[in-house]
């Protein structure tokens, strides 16, 4: 499948329309269900799941769609895919339920196990970040496209770390170099912490806990286009559609892949 600006624009249009539907759900009382993994899902998740799949099937009929809400496919079947769409219809369902405004819609394209296109759209915060291989990374501000740029870090400066909770900050103490200064930024859904890194508002985001490949695929292409990266705690890259499980290991997401992050994080087991 050939990447093109036309394809990217079509995916942006689908994501933005999904965002309009999500804003309507946000105004209403919602139905909450508990999935088998004990996490919540709402009627908004399920509606957007169906809508996005239908729209992507119209756009690219021969490319399968893998969603967080329909991911129980064996690896033997998934390995036959050269390309597939990977989506999280509502990243940050708990934030959506709690009315924090900090949730988003994620659509990614993965080709030969590598994310090559990604969109992260937060309709309430009016933030849209997107990237495509060899096209660069961008954000939409007041309907104007702004290109994102690499950032070079210095060990002399405080390292700004995006995290999900105070509890994560406490867990991190044993991993952090005590001789380095830090600033912590507590923020909403996983993808929105990604946008803090991509925008330069945070230098890294560390996740100790369960996420899916749908949570990080758009982040992979967004960051790679501006010199960033995602590593597991052994500083190895994450994988896509290469394991029976779609659950990610704990990871570190960084804005500058040339910085020696091993001087910051002592992750040796």
Number of H helices, E strands in the chain: 7, 14
Exposure string of 195-229, with b = 16+ CB inside 10 Å and e = fewer, is bbbbbeebbbbbbeeebbbbbbbbbbbbbbbbbbb
Whether pLDDT at 217 is above 90? yes
pLDDT at 140 (0 to 100): 95
Instruction: For residue 90, say whether it is annotated as part of any ligand binding site.
Output: yes
Q: In the chain, what are the domains?
A: 5-147 (3.30.540.10), 159-263 (3.40.190.80)
| Listed range (7-21, 33-47, 215-229, 235-249) with the worst mean pLDDT | 33-47
Q: Across residues 90-95, what is the average pLDDT?
A: 94
Q: What share of the chain is helix, strand, coil (3-state, %, to 5)?
A: 30, 30, 40
pLDDT at 269 (0 to 100): 53
Instruction: For residue 101, say whether it is annotated as part of any ligand binding site.
Output: no
pTM given for the model: 0.95
Instruction: For residue 86, say whether it is annotated as part of any ligand binding site.
Output: no
Q: Across residues 213-242, what is the average pLDDT?
A: 97
Instruction: Encode pLDDT of 45-75 as tens digits.
Output: 999 999 999 999 999 999 999 999 988 899 9
Contact 177, 266 (CB under 8 A): yes
Whether pLDDT at 212 is above 70? yes
Using only C-alpha atoms, the chain has a radius of gyration, in whole angstroms, of 18
Instruction: Encode pLDDT of 140-197 as tens digits.
Output: 988 889 999 999 998 778 999 999 888 888 888 889 999 999 999 988 788 999 999 9
Instruction: For residue 232, say whether it is annotated as part of any ligand binding site.
Output: no
Instruction: For residue 19, say whether it is annotated as part of any ligand binding site.
Output: no
Share of the chain above pLDDT 70, in %: 99
Q: Across residues 134-139, what is the average pLDDT?
A: 96
Where does the pLDDT of residue 7 fall: very low under 50, low under 70, confident under 90, or very high at 90 and above? very high
Instruction: For residue 45, say whether it is annotated as part of any ligand binding site.
Output: no
Whether pLDDT at 199 is above 90? yes
Instruction: For residue 88, say whether it is annotated as part of any ligand binding site.
Output: yes
pLDDT at 44 (0 to 100): 96
pLDDT at 1 (0 to 100): 67
Instruction: Encode pLDDT of 37-47 as tens digits.
Output: 888 999 999 99
């Amino acid at each position: 499948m050939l990447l093109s600006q036309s394809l990217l624009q079509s995916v942006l249009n689908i994501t933005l329309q999904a965002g309009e539907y999500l804003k309507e759900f946000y105004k209403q009382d919602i139905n909450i269900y508990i999935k088998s993994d004990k996490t919540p899902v709402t009627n908004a998740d399920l509606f957007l799941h169906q809508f996005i799949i239908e729209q992507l099937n119209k756009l690219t009929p021969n490319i399968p769609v893998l969603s967080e809400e329909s991911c129980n496919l064996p690896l033997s079947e998934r390995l036959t895919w050269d390309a597939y769409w990977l989506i999280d219809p509502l990243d940050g369902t708990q934030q959506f339920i709690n009315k924090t405004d900090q949730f988003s819609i994620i659509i990614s394209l993965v080709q030969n196990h590598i994310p090559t296109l990604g969109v992260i759209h937060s309709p309430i915060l009016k933030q849209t970040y997107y990237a495509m291989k060899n096209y660069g990374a961008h954000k939409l501000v007041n309907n104007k496209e702004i290109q994102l740029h690499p950032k070079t870090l210095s060990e002399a400066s405080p390292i700004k770390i995006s995290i999900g909770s105070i509890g994560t900050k406490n867990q991190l103490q044993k991993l952090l170099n005590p001789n380095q200064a830090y600033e912590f930024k507590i923020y909403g859904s996983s993808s929105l912490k990604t946008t803090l890194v991509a925008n330069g508002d945070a230098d890294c985001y560390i996740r100790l806990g369960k996420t899916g490949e749908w949570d990080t695929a758009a982040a992979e292409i967004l960051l790679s286009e501006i010199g960033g990266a995602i590593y597991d705690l052994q500083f190895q890259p994450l994988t896509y559609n290469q394991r029976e499980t779609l659950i990610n290991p704990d990871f570190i997401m960084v804005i500058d892949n040339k910085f020696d992050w091993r001087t910051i994080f002592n992750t040796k087991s």
